[in-house]
Chain A
Amino acid sequence: MSIDLSQFIATFLEESYEGIDVMENSLLTLETDDDEAINVIFRAAHSIKGGAGTFGFNEVADFTHVVETLLDEVRSGQQEVTPKLINLLLESVDCIKGLLGAAQDGPQADSQQIADVQARLQVYIVAKGAADDNPEDNCEVIPSGKHQSWKIHFSAESEILENGHEPALMFSALADLGSLTVEAELDSLPTLAESDPQLLYLSWSIHCDSDCGESEIEEIFEWVEDECQLDIDKIMSEQSLTKSWQINFEPHSDMLNTGNDPALMFSALAKLGALKVSANTDKLPELQQYLADSLYISWQLELAADCEKQQIADIFEWVEDSCDLQITEQSGTAQQQAGVEEEGQQTEKVESKKTNGDKAKARGNKAAESSSIRVDTDKIDSLINRVGELVITQAMLGQVGDDLSEIPGVNTERLQEGLELLERNTRDLQEDVMRVRMLPVSFVFNRFPRLVHDVSGKLSKKVELIISGEQTEIDKTVMEKIGDPMVHLVRNSLDHGLEEPAQRIAAGKPEVGTLKLNAYHQGGFVVIDIIDDGNGLNTEKIRTKALEKGLITEDQQLSDDEVNGLIFKPGFSTADVVSDLSGRGVGLDVVMRNIESLGGQVSVKSEPGKGSAFSIKLPLTLAILEGQLVRVHEDTYVIPLVSIVETIVINKESKNPIAGEEKLLHFRDEYISHLDLKKLFHLPGADSVASTDTTLVAIVENSGKKVGLVVDELYGQQQVVIKSLEVNFKRIEGLSGATILGDGSVALILDVAGLIQRGMNFEAASAVNSRNKLQNERTQGYL
């Protein structure tokens, strides 16, 4: 009996793609000797290889095997992590992706490219990275002999994190200049209970081996120079430091009770010379069992200083009874030692830099990874439907309860209590179920580090990507559809917004441009901002171009924001050169259409020379809509709240009759046409509107077009669950779906874009009709 493997292939592919994402993300953030990250990458490659072998995707397995071999060497320290290695591995990841796609009936993978990458991987493995023909990339390899190094002391104001600065990013920028030793000074670290995760309590001493100039270092810290204290000292020769000490410090857990603080001792040690601290956190208990006055950590310290053993021992004099202390002298230069020792300890060192808050977060992340399950979205949708039904049933019962309580002599107190409880529980249940479909927006954001890396490389621009708010949750369907428009906007910012390094320097800006992605909740919406500090939009150029294309007229008075908004019009591109990346003029109008089809909006703000900010506003979910309920004739319709500009009552006078037809409406210095829904839908009573003096009009907007919808009455605003008309019926122009109201009846949801289109057809049709009628009458008159 054979097992049919095919049913598992889909799962394998899905998992492999996830593995690829993991590899890519880890590679992009990979720093030297980050063992954990390398392990993660290795494991991902390993499971792809294993799975591919099982399912007979030999090409994938063979290729991944080579990648795995290289990763294994990196893991065991035989290979150095260099930018070149990272780029090679990134290319390999692309190859694996291509091969997997080919295995999944996709297009044939580029065998030439794969063979090429595979060959380079082989060479890399054989040569242990030494075959590097580009010496620039070898910044990790420290040339022996005379060289220069920098001692940097960086202590920032505690609010620096709130302003979006991330010291780790600056350090990684520093690491690009040369090999780096970072020591955190924990002096001002408060106890865990007092610690505020928003604040920064650490300061750092950084030792950087680099031939760079002082200005290059200053540049990295340029953004924070007003909020920190920065001392940069040049050290000409590190070679004189011949002595280094290895200190093993294992305090007893009650040491803190004696009033001794390890941090104080460490700072005393740091005064003797360059200190490297690595904490051993093996004994750290769970947070619940954590006693604030016990010490769970032991330390391994590395001190490069020309001092006597006694000097070190003196520092620990006060605690020598309550700790195990070993001080050993290391022979050789500090340089050599760093090379030997760092391998095993670096991870722990990185750990010790993190605050306790970070550790808790890391644990949280791990828990989230392990406790997720894969569920078919159909199941979730049917669950959401059921709960929607429950809410309606609950509303109905509530109504019955209210009716009963009005009958005199009937005691409905207990019934009412029960109904209230039911209402609360149903609402909570609905919220919970809705949340099942929600995913953090990081699923979209994750692709951008790679994109920015590749695109900025291609454009030879220097860009730093800052992502925040990636935990903001958004509906899965919305997320799937927001990716492409965002890629478009990000490419746009990279291509048109940010300038080349030379231009930036000339404009007095830092060489490295910043691109910020930020997501946050605002009302019932999720807002995603894409902000660059580039050149901003050239409003004059846009105006000229718009005139050229006939989008606006000479005498139109438009504010800068309005002019900038024109870039979302079809066929608009101001790029002088149509590049490979963007600028074909099929850009932003597509972005706008895509976003509007999700019920969202996109806007742009720009300041010349300072940068531009695109802002995408999206509904939290496609399953629920904030709607305005209106009455047209006898029926209730729902207008999406997001498209309503304003609802107004108009008098007969403000309608401007054109050729006897009341088609135009004067609204805030604009003439907009209005559509009578009754006429449009051929409902009875369409003509009675004309007889009343006032008309209720909801001004709606789509793709910059405003139209007034004439309605009979405004009801309340409420969240409605969107139901498809297509499932059992068909798509109907002008309607985006239906919803079920509290009384169980169905209300139709108006599709504003469709209505505007339909209205225009209607107008055209009625114009033709009236002309025909006129003609007929004339003909008849002649006869």
Chain B
Amino acid sequence: MSTENWQNQAAETQHNSEGQQYLSFVLDAEEYGIDILRVQELRGWTPVTPVPDMPEYIKGVLNLRGAIIPVVDLRKRFGLPERDYGPTTVVIVIKVDSGTKERVMGIIVDAVAETYTLTQDQIQPPPQIGGGISSEFITGLVAQEEKMIVLMDIDELMNSDELAIDVPALSNVK
């Protein structure tokens, strides 16, 4: 049985009985969660090669064992204040479903926090909030030990704007 099948099955069982597992990370004192099955690996911060003429939040490209992957600074993406990269700064390598293909990308976060197993009834629908993170990237909110965790839709996030495979010519002008 291939790993993929195994993962799918694991995901299904989790859905049914114990819920789904999420990896949470910290970004400017807030905690965010993403589906753990999308996480390929965690890396410490290493300098990347900048790609010319990209928005500031796309830091550049990285050599991931021979594959060239783009790396996105989530602080900058969400318009949060900049912070120097330190020893805890982590690049989460995620698999993004981009419609026609699956892309591997990296996101820079302040630190990785915990993993949670969440059932569907623990997740509350996203409120209409302003600020950096527009609600379209948020799938839900979870209250966990007096903390609030924002669950993110990485497919939506990592295929938006300049990260989309085919950027319509107009979006450059806007």
Contacts and interface: CB of A to CB of B under 8 A. Distances in A.
Q: Is B one of A's binding partners?
A: yes
Interface of A: 385-386, 388-389, 392, 635, 680-683, 723-725, 727-730, 732, 734-735, 738, 740, 744-748
Interface string B55-99: 000001111011111100000000000000000000000000000
A738 B53 contact: no
Contact of B52 (A386, A734, A738, A746): A734
Interface stretch (B14-22, B43-51, B112-120, B148-156): B43-51
B104 A728 contact: yes
A338 B163 CA distance: 78
B68 A727 contact: yes
Contact of A729 (B47, B52, B66, B68): B68
B103 interface: yes
A729 B53 contact: no
Given A729-B68, A735-B51, 18 more contacts: A386-B66, A635-B50, A680-B52, A682-B53, A683-B52, A723-B66, A723-B68, A725-B51, A725-B61, A727-B103, A728-B69, A728-B103, A730-B166, A730-B167, A738-B61, A740-B68, A748-B51, A748-B61
B42 interface: no
A486 B54 CA distance: 39
A682 B50 CA distance: 12
A241 B18 CA distance: 103
A376 B46 CA distance: 35
Interface of B: 47-53, 60-63, 65-70, 103-105, 163-167
A501 B66 CA distance: 58
Nearest to B64: A728
A221 to B, nearest CB: 59
B82 to A, nearest CB: 16
A46 to B, nearest CB: 40
A740 B63 contact: yes
Contacts of B60: 746
Given A746-B48, A746-B49, A728 B70 contact: yes
Given A388-B66, A725-B68, A746 B53 contact: no
A385 B163 CA distance: 25
Contacts of A682: 52-53
Contacts of B68: 723-725, 727-729, 738, 740, 746
B49 A745 contact: yes
The 5 closest A-B pairs by CB, nearest first: A681-B52, A746-B49, A729-B70, A389-B66, A728-B103
A385 B49 contact: no
Contacts of B105: 728-729
Contacts of B52: 680-683, 732, 734-735, 748
Nearest to A726: B165
A728 B62 CA distance: 11
A747 B48 CA distance: 10
A79 B163 CA distance: 68
A681 to B, nearest CB: 3
Contacts of A385: 66
A228 B103 CA distance: 67
A339 to B, nearest CB: 67
Nearest to B105: A728
Contact of A681 (B53, B70, B167): B53
A727 B48 contact: no
* Residue from A727, A735, A746 having most chain B Cβ neighbours under 10 A: A746
12 contacts: A389-B66, A392-B66, A680-B52, A723-B66, A728-B103, A729-B61, A729-B105, A730-B163, A738-B49, A745-B63, A746-B62, A746-B63
B157 to A, nearest CB: 15
A681 B70 CA distance: 18
B141 to A, nearest CB: 30
A740 B49 CA distance: 10
Contacts of A683: 52
Nearest to A678: B52
Nearest to B162: A730
Contacts of A388: 66
Nearest to A634: B50
A191 to B, nearest CB: 54
A729 B69 contact: yes
A137 B49 CA distance: 70
A738 B51 CA distance: 10
A748 B51 CA distance: 8
Contacts of A723: 66-68
B13 to A, nearest CB: 30
Contacts of A740: 63, 66, 68
Contacts of B164: 730
A389 B64 CA distance: 10
Contacts of B53: 681-682, 732
B103 A732 contact: no
A392 B68 CA distance: 14
A732 B63 contact: no
Contacts of B50: 635
A168 to B, nearest CB: 49
Nearest to B172: A733
B68 to A, nearest CB: 5
A389 B61 contact: no
A385 to B, nearest CB: 5
B165 to A, nearest CB: 5
Contact of A747 (B47, B49, B62, B103): B49
A279 B67 CA distance: 60
B69 to A, nearest CB: 5
Nearest to B102: A728
Contacts of B69: 728-729
Contacts of B63: 740, 744-746
Nearest to A677: B52
B51 A732 contact: yes
Contacts of A730: 163-167
Nearest to B47: A745
Nearest to A738: B68
A725 B163 CA distance: 12
A175 B86 CA distance: 83
Nearest to B165: A730
Contacts of B49: 635, 738, 745-748
A735 B61 CA distance: 13
